[in-house]
Amino acid sequence: MKILLLKDLPSKGKKGQVVDVSDGYAKNFVIKNNIGLAESDPQAKKLLKELKEAGEKEGREKERMKKLADQLGKKALTIKHTTGKDGKIFGSIKEKEISQALASQFGITLDKHSIEVPAAIRTVGAYTAHIDLGHGIKTTITINAQI
C-alpha cells in the first residue's frame, strides 16, 4: 500500500514522501498512529498538492535570490559619512546603515542580520560586506565609504 508520511518514519522515509509498505503495517501501525495517510485518501491528495506548490514556490524564490545575488555582486554601494581631520569616520558604518543605503540607492530591502561586515568600517575607502540571502545563496558587495 502506498502511503503519504505525515511524520518521519525510520527506515521507511521522511515527512512528505510517498512510500510503499505492506497493507498490514500501513493499517495497523502507520495510519492508526497518525504517521501517514493512504495515498488514495482525499486529504492525502490535498496535502500532496500543497507540498508540490510549496516546492515550486521555494524554487521560484531561490531563482529570485540567485538573480539578486548576481545584481548585488556587480554593484558598488556608496555611503557618505562625516569624518574628522585625520579621515576617520565618526563612529563606524554598521549593518543597519548598509541595509538602509541598499534600500535608498538600489531599492533592495534586506534585513540587517543578513549582512556581515568582516571588520568595522571606520575610515574612508573601499570595503566588502558578505550578504546571506537565504536558501544557501551568499554574495559580496563593495562598499565605498566617502566623505
The ranges assigned to domains in the chain are: 2-40, 63-146
Domain spanning 63-146, CATH class: alpha beta
| One fold for 2-40 and 63-146 | no
- The secondary structure of 75-95 as a DSSP string is -EEEEE--B-TTSEEEEEE-H
The architecture CATH gives domain 2-40: 3-Layer(aba) Sandwich (3.40)
Instruction: Tell me if 138 sits within 8 A of 110, measured CB to CB.
Output: no
pLDDT reported for residue 119: 85
- Mean confidence (pLDDT) of the chain: 90
- The 10s digit of each residue's pLDDT in 56-105 is 999 999 999 999 889 888 889 999 888 887 878 888 889 999 999 999 99
> Model pTM?
0.68
